[in-house]
C-alpha cells in the first residue's frame, strides 16, 4: 500500500531509535526465561516431595521477611530506636554524604572505624547514595538475616536428600523449617536498632557453604564477614575451627579461614580499632585482685588459663540464658562439629563480659539462632538413619519446643520493644520536621535513633555526662517516660529544669515530650548534664489530673490540678539505694489530698499521708522505710521457656525506684511546687516527727 514502509532490521525509525524485529525481542525474552528456569531447576532438592517442602519453606521464610520489614517500619515510625541506631545510621549517613572518616557518637573523641573496625559500613553506604532516610538500615538487617536462614534451610534439605532415604527425610526438613521460622530470637535480634552481626552471620553462612563445596567465591564471603567488625572476625575464627573438626580433609581451607579472622583481629588491636570493646575493660575483672588498667592481654589470658574457676563461675551464673539462647534452635545442635567451633568462641566472647550484660537473647548471639538449627538437623538425621521411629518422635518434640518458645515470647517481644505511645511518636515526628538540617540534636537515649540523619547528634545516656557541642544551634529532646531509657526519669526531669534555668526556649511540651531550642554560648564546647536531683519542680511531673502552669518566672511555675479525679503529679522516678528516707512535698490545696510514696521496683506503697486543706504553701514531710530491696519485675517467660533480661533501664545494682504521687479526689485547687527525697537515719525520722503511714 502507498505510504507504507518497513524499516530493515537495525535501521532508525522515525523517532530516530533503532527498531528490532519482534522475533529478535521474543528470542531474547525466551533466552532469559530459559536461563532462569534452568538455574531454578538446578537449585534445591531434586526429589519431588522434598522440593515441594523446600518451596514451602522458602515461602515461609519470605513471609517471615515481610513480617520483619513490617516490624522494622513500625519500630521506626514509633521512634523506638536508641543510641545504637544513632551510632550506625549517623556514620552511614555521613559516609554517604561525603564524610569518609566520620566521628563516633559512641566513643567520644574517636572516629567511627576505631569502635570495632566495622569497615562494612563504607561499602554499605553505597545504598545510602540511593536512599538514606527511613528504616533502610533496619530493612538491610532483615534481608541479611533471612538470606542466612534461606541458605541454611537449603543446606538442611541437601543433607536430608543425600543422607536419608524414604519418607523419613520429610521429618528432617519439616523440623528444620520450623526451627528456623519459629525461633523468637530472630525477631528479638531485629528489634534492637541496627547491628552488623546479622550481616556478619549472613556472610559466614555463605562462606561456609561455598568453601565446603570447594568454591573460590567462599573466600570473598570470608573477607566480607571479617570487615563486619571484630566480633564477627572472632566468629570467622570459630568457623575455621568448626570446619577443621567437621571435615578434617579440608584443614588447609580451615586454616586459611582462621588466619584471615585472626589476622583481622591483630590488625584491629595494632591500629587501636577496638575502642568499643577493649578486651582488658571487658574481661579484666576475671583477674581478680591482679587486675589493673595497665594489664596486658597476654597477662590476662595467662591468668585465666591458670585460674579457670572464675570463668566457670561467670558462665554458670548465666546458665538460664545459656540454655535459652540455644533451646529454640533445638539445643542438641551445638553437638554438630561445624556449629561447635562457632559456639566455643561465642561462649567466652558473650558470657564473660563484665556484668554478663550480653547473655540475654539478642543480636550478639544471632549466629546461634541461624546455625544451631542446622546442627540440630544434622544430629536428627543421624538419629533417623538408625532409629527412624525414635527420630520422628524426636523431630516432633523439636517442633513442639520451638513453637512453644515462639508462642511464649513473641507477645513479650512486641510489648517490650514497641514502647513509645502513638501520641508521643506523633509529637516527636512533628518536632523532627521543625529542626533545621544543620542543627545539633541531643535526644534521650530511647528515641535518639530517629534523629540521626544529620552531621551532629548525640544521645543522653545518663546524668553527669559530657555532651560535645559541635554546633551551637542545638535542639534538646527529653523524653522521661517513653522508650528504652538508660537514665532515671528524675534525672531527665532534672535536665528539663536545668535547661529552663539555662534560658533554653521551650518549644514543645506534650505527650511526655519536652523539646527545647537553645543557642549555646560560643565559649561552651561541652555541656555536662546534671546528676540525679534530690528535689524536682512539681511542674515537671504532672500526671493525668494535673497541668503545668508555666506563666511568669520559672521560680513560680507549679503543677496545678485540672479539677478531675486522679494523680496531680507522678512519674518522678528516683533511683535510690535501699535505706531510710524523708519525702518532702511542698504544696497548697483547697481540698483533702493524699500524698503517697511508692517503691516501683516492687510495686509497693511505702508511705501515705492524708493532707487536709492548707492555708498557703505547706511542706509535707514523710518518713519512708526503703530498706527492703526489690528486684525490678521484668517479664521473662513462663515455665521452662525463660530468658533472663538485663532490664530496660540502668538501675544500679542494689537500688530501688522510688516515686512520690499526689492524688486528688476531684474539684478544688491543688498546686504542687516541689517534691523530693532526703536520706536520713531512723533516729532522725523520729526526732523530726515526720508523718507515718
Alpha-carbon gap, residue 329 to 379, rounded angstroms: 12
Examine the domain organization and report whether 363 and 449 are in the same domain: no
Examine the domain organization and report whether 551 and 664 are in the same domain: yes
Given 467, 502, 533, the domain boundary residue is 533
C-alpha cell at 198: 546479622
- If phi > 0 it is left, if psi is from -120 to 50 it is alpha, else beta; for residue 638 that is beta
Alpha-carbon gap, residue 114 to 103, rounded angstroms: 9
Examine the domain organization and report whether 52 and 166 are in the same domain: yes
- H or E element that contains 513: strand 513-519
Domain assignment present for residue 488? The answer is: yes
Domain assignment present for residue 224? The answer is: no
Given 369, 384, 417, the domain boundary residue is 417
C-alpha cell at 174: 519439616
Q: Where are the beta strands (DSSP E) in 533-684?
A: 535-537, 546-549, 558-561, 566-569, 574-577, 579-589, 593-599, 604-611, 618-626, 637-638, 641-642, 655-664, 670-679
C-alpha cell at 459: 544521645
Examine the domain organization and report whether 571 and 654 are in the same domain: yes
Alpha-carbon gap, residue 359 to 643, rounded angstroms: 9
Examine the domain organization and report whether 528 and 548 are in the same domain: no
Domain assignment present for residue 17? The answer is: no
Examine the domain organization and report whether 355 and 481 are in the same domain: no
Examine the domain organization and report whether 342 and 400 are in the same domain: yes
Give the pLDDT confidence score for residue 3 in this predicted structure: 44
DSSP 145-156: HHHHHHHHHHHH
Decide if 493 contacts 437 (C-beta within 8 A).
Answer: no
Half-sphere exposure of 512 (CA within 13 A, CB side): 22
Least Cα distance to 573 among 492, 658, 669 occurs for 658
Q: What predicted TM-score, i.e. pTM, was given to this entire model? A: 0.88
Alpha-carbon gap, residue 468 to 441, rounded angstroms: 11
Domain assignment present for residue 59? The answer is: yes
Examine the domain organization and report whether 168 and 197 are in the same domain: yes
Look up cell 513442639; give the residue.
400
Give the pLDDT confidence score for residue 533 in this predicted structure: 92
Alpha carbon distances (Å) from 23 to 8, 30, 469: 13, 10, 66
Buried/exposed code over 166-200 (b: 16+ C-beta within 10 A; e: otherwise): eebbbbbbbbbbbbbbbbbbbbbbbbbbbbbbbbb
Domain assignment present for residue 620? The answer is: yes
Examine the domain organization and report whether 612 and 669 are in the same domain: yes
Give the pLDDT confidence score for residue 87 in this predicted structure: 92
Least Cα distance to 184 among 647, 642, 648, 649 occurs for 642
User: Hey, is 593 helix, strand or coil?
Assistant: strand
- H or E element that contains 321: helix 319-326
Number of separate domains in the chain: 3
Least Cα distance to 46 among 219, 169, 230, 186 occurs for 169
Alpha-carbon gap, residue 449 to 81, rounded angstroms: 5
Least Cα distance to 390 among 198, 168, 578, 209 occurs for 168
Give the pLDDT confidence score for residue 633 in this predicted structure: 62
Q: Please count the residues of the chain.
A: 693
Q: Give average pLDDT by consecutive 10-residue segment, the chain, 693 residues.
A: 43 49 60 60 80 94 97 96 93 91 82 92 88 87 97 94 89 95 95 95 95 88 95 94 89 93 94 79 73 71 78 84 93 90 87 77 93 95 93 94 96 92 95 94 94 91 89 94 87 94 93 94 91 93 93 92 94 90 95 94 91 92 89 77 67 74 94 94 54 38
Alpha carbon distances (Å) from 64 to 141, 186, 685, 690: 13, 10, 59, 59
- The CA radius of gyration of the chain, in Å to the nearest whole number, is 30
Examine the domain organization and report whether 190 and 57 are in the same domain: yes
526 contacts: CB under 8 Å, gap ≥ 6: 466, 467, 468, 469
Examine the domain organization and report whether 377 and 494 are in the same domain: no
Residue 518 belongs to what domain range? 422-533
User: Hey, is 127 helix, strand or coil?
Assistant: helix
Examine the domain organization and report whether 521 and 547 are in the same domain: no
Domain assignment present for residue 490? The answer is: yes
Alpha-carbon gap, residue 683 to 582, rounded angstroms: 12
Given 496, 515, 533, the domain boundary residue is 533
Domain assignment present for residue 90? The answer is: no
Give the pLDDT confidence score for residue 129 in this predicted structure: 81
Residue 478 has φ and ψ, to the nearest 5°, of: -115, 120
Decide if 277 contacts 231 (C-beta within 8 A).
Answer: yes
User: Hey, is 476 helix, strand or coil?
Assistant: strand
Amino acid at each position: 500500500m502507498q505510504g507504507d514502509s518497513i524499516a530493515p532490521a537495525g535501521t532508525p525509525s522515525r523517532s530516530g531509535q533503532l527498531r528490532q524485529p519482534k522475533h529478535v525481542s521474543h528470542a531474547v525474552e525466551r533466552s532469559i526465561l530459559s536461563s532462569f528456569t534452568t538455574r531454578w531447576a538446578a537449585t534445591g532438592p531434586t526429589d519431588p516431595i522434598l522440593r515441594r517442602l523446600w518451596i514451602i519453606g522458602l515461602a515461609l521464610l519470605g513471609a517471615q521477611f515481610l513480617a520483619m520489614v513490617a516490624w522494622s517500619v513500625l519500630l521506626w515510625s514509633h521512634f523506638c530506636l536508641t543510641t545504637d541506631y544513632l551510632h550506625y545510621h549517623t556514620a552511614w549517613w555521613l559516609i554517604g554524604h561525603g564524610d569518609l572518616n566520620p566521628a563516633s557518637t559512641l566513643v567520644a573523641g574517636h572516629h567511627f572505624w576505631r569502635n570495632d573496625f566495622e569497615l562494612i559500613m563504607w561499602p554499605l553506604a553505597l545504598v545510602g547514595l540511593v536512599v538514606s532516610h527511613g528504616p533502610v538500615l533496619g530493612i538491610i538487617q532483615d534481608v541479611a538475616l533471612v538470606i542466612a536462614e534461606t541458605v541454611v534451610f537449603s543446606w538442611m534439605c541437601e543433607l536430608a536428600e543425600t543422607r536419608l532415604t524414604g519418607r523419613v527425610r520429610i521429618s528432617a526438613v519439616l523440623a528444620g523449617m520450623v526451627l528456623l521460622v519459629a525461633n523468637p530470637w530472630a525477631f528479638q535480634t531485629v528489634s534492637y536498632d541496627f547491628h552488623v552481626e546479622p550481616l556478619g552471620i549472613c556472610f559466614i553462612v555463605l562462606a561456609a557453604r561455598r568453601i565446603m563445596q570447594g568454591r573460590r567465591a567462599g573466600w570473598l564471603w570470608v573477607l566480607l564477614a571479617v570487615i563486619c567488625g571484630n566480633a564477627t572476625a572472632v566468629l570467622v575464627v570459630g568457623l575455621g575451627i568448626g570446619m577443621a573438626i567437621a571435615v578434617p580433609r579440608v584443614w588447609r581451607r580451615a586454616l586459611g579461614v582462621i588466619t584471615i579472622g585472626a589476622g583481622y583481629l591483630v590488625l584491629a588491636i595494632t591500629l587501636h580499632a577496638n575502642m568499643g570493646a577493649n578486651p582488658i575493660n571487658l574481661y579484666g575483672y576475671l583477674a581478680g585482685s591482679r587486675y589493673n588498667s595497665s594489664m596486658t592481654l597476654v597477662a590476662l589470658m595467662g591468668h585465666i588459663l591458670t585460674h579457670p574457676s572464675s570463668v566457670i563461675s561467670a558462665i554458670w551464673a548465666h546458665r538460664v540464658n545459656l540454655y535459652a539462647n540455644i533451646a529454640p534452635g533445638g539445643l542438641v545442635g551445638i553437638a554438630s562439629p561445624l556449629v561447635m567451633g562457632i559456639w566455643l568462641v561465642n561462649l567466652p566472647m558473650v558470657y564473660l563480659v563484665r556484668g554478663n550484660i550480653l547473655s540475654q537473647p539478642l543480636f550478639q548471639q544471632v549466629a546461634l539462632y541461624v546455625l544451631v538449627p542446622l546442627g540440630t538437623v544434622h544430629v536428627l538425621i543421624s538419629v533417623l538413619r538408625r532409629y527412624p521411629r525414635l527420630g520422628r518422635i524426636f523431630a516432633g518434640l523439636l517442633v513442639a519446643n520451638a513453637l512453644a518458645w515462639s508462642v511464649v515470647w513473641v507477645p513479650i517481644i512486641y510489648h517490650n520493644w514497641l514502647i513509645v505511645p502513638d501520641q508521643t511518636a506523633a509529637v516527636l515526628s512533628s518536632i523532627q520536621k521543625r529542626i533545621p538540617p544543620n542543627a545539633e540534636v541531643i535526644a534521650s537515649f530511647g528515641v535518639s535513633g530517629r534523629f540521626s540523619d544529620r552531621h551532629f547528634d548525640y544521645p543522653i545516656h545518663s546524668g553527669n555526662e559530657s555532651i560535645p557541642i559541635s554546633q551551637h544551634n542545638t535542639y534538646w529532646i527529653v523524653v522521661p517516660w517513653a522508650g528504652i531509657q538508660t537514665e532515671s526519669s528524675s534525672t531527665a526531669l532534672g535536665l528539663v529544669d536545668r535547661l529552663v534555668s539555662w534560658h533554653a526556649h521551650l518549644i514543645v511540651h506534650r505527650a511526655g515530650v519536652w523539646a527545647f531550642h537553645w543557642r549555646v554560648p560560643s565559649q561552651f564546647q561541652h555541656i555536662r548534664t546534671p546528676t540525679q536531683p534530690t528535689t524536682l519542680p512539681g511542674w515537671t511531673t504532672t500526671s493525668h489530673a494535673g497541668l503545668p502552669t508555666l506563666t511568669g518566672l520559672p521560680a513560680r511555675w507549679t503543677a496545678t490540678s485540672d479539677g478531675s479525679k486522679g494523680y496531680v503529679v507522678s512519674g518522678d522516678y528516683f533511683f535510690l539505694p535501699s535505706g531510710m528516707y524523708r519525702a518532702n512535698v511542698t504544696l497548697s490545696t483547697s481540698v483533702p489530698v493524699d500524698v503517697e510514696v511508692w517503691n516501683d521496683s516492687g510495686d509497693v506503697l511505702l508511705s501515705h499521708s492524708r493532707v487536709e486543706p492548707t492555708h498557703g504553701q505547706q511542706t509535707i514531710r514523710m518518713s519512708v522505710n526503703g530498706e527492703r530491696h526489690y528486684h525490678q519485675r521484668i517479664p521473662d517467660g513462663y515455665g521452662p521457656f525463660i530468658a533472663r533480661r538485663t532490664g530496660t533501664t540502668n538501675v544500679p545494682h542494689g537500688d530501688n525506684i522510688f516515686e512520690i504521687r499526689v492524688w486528688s479526689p476531684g474539684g478544688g485547687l491543688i498546686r504542687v511546687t516541689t517534691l523530693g527525697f532526703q536520706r536520713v537515719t531512723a533516729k532522725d525520722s523520729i526526732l523530726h516527727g515526720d508523718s507515718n503511714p
